[in-house]
Amino acid sequence: MSHTVYVGLGSNLDNPIQQIKQALPALNQMPQTTLLTHSALYHSAPLGPPQPDYINAVAVLSTQLSPLALLSQLQTIETQQGRIRSAQQRWGPRTLDLDILLYDDRQSSDPVLTLPHPGLYQRTFVLYPLYECAPQLRLPNGQRLQDLIAACPPQGLAKLSVVVS
């Protein structure tokens, strides 16, 4: 059975635009997974400690992988692109961050993977690229994505005119 998954991409180290451009085809090469579409790239200010600005996007996947198997594949891609995980530094700079935002309409609070992603509802750098991919999306809690967009001004988020294939 195939599942629709929305993945958030972010990078603010080692040529962030190139990191995102490299990650998109890697998503399509995961087993039992197809990249359906993706948003444009967006420039955003970082959350957390002082650090470089981020480049963000959202990808839409069709996968037969379970949520945890998909998470493992995403973390492998992050590692291949130079991501170093540090338990001490949450929201720190990174070469690549791949977050499962939505996995079908699944809701769970598993300690390893919370679905939907807990930051989904208020982060402009997630909401706007997600809206670009699925403007009619209704979230698992019944809320319409367009209503979240209407209540969440872009706050410095800038869509880039970089071509991503």
Active site residue 99: yes
The encoded tokens of residue 97 equal 């961050």
Active site residue 147: no
The encoded tokens of residue 2 equal 């195939």
Choice among 97, 123, 144, 147 that is catalytic: 97
Q: What single-letter DSSP state applies at residue 137? A: -
pLDDT digits (tens, 9 = 90+) for 50-60: 899 999 999 99
Mean pLDDT of 61-89: 90
User: Confidence band (pLDDT; 50, 70, 90) for 49?
Assistant: confident
Q: Is the pLDDT of residue 2 over 60?
A: yes
Report in angstroms the alpha-carbon separations of 109 from 37, 100, 118.
27, 13, 9
In the prediction, which pLDDT does 90 show?
A: 66
User: Confidence band (pLDDT; 50, 70, 90) for 164?
Assistant: confident
Choice among 85, 99, 106, 144 that is catalytic: 99
Choice among 14, 53, 83, 144 that is catalytic: 83
Active site residue 123: no
- Structurally, at CATH architecture level, domain 3-159 sits in 2-Layer Sandwich (3.30)
In the prediction, which pLDDT does 162 show?
A: 86
Active site residue 106: no
User: Confidence band (pLDDT; 50, 70, 90) for 142?
Assistant: very high
